[in-house]
Structure formats: C-alpha cells, structure tokens
Amino acid sequence: MDKEEIAIREQAIIELIEVFSSKYLNEEIHELCVKLVKKLGRKRDVLFVSD
C-alpha cells in the first residue's frame, strides 16, 4: 500500500474520531487520539491497513 492510500485511510479514521469525540470525549482526549493515529500512520508496518 502506498503513502497516498495510507493517508486516505488515516483521514477516514480521524473523521470517525472527530464524530465520536464530539459526542463523548473532551478536547484533550480528542487531540491525543488524532496524534496517535498520525503516529501510527508513520510506522513502517501501518496497523490500520489490511493486507
């Protein structure tokens, strides 16, 4: 999977987090979740990509 596809998946996950966190979480936790997804997207073996 190339970097463009990873970025698309990463953005989709961030959008899901935004919807969920606006209802149930505070801003600090929201920022931590987004930071975690972005960090996972930079790893060699991206966890949110299925083979």
Confidence of residue 43 (pLDDT cuts 50, 70, 90): confident
Q: Render the burial of 11-44: b for 16+ CB within 10 Å, e for the rest.
A: eebeeebeeebeeeeeeeebeebbeebeebbeee
Instruction: Report whether pLDDT(48) > 80.
Output: no
Assessment of whether the complete model's pTM goes beyond 0.85: no
Q: What is the pLDDT of residue 3?
A: 85
- What are the pLDDT digits (tens) for 7-42? 999 999 999 999 999 999 999 999 999 999 999 888
Q: What is the pLDDT of residue 13?
A: 94
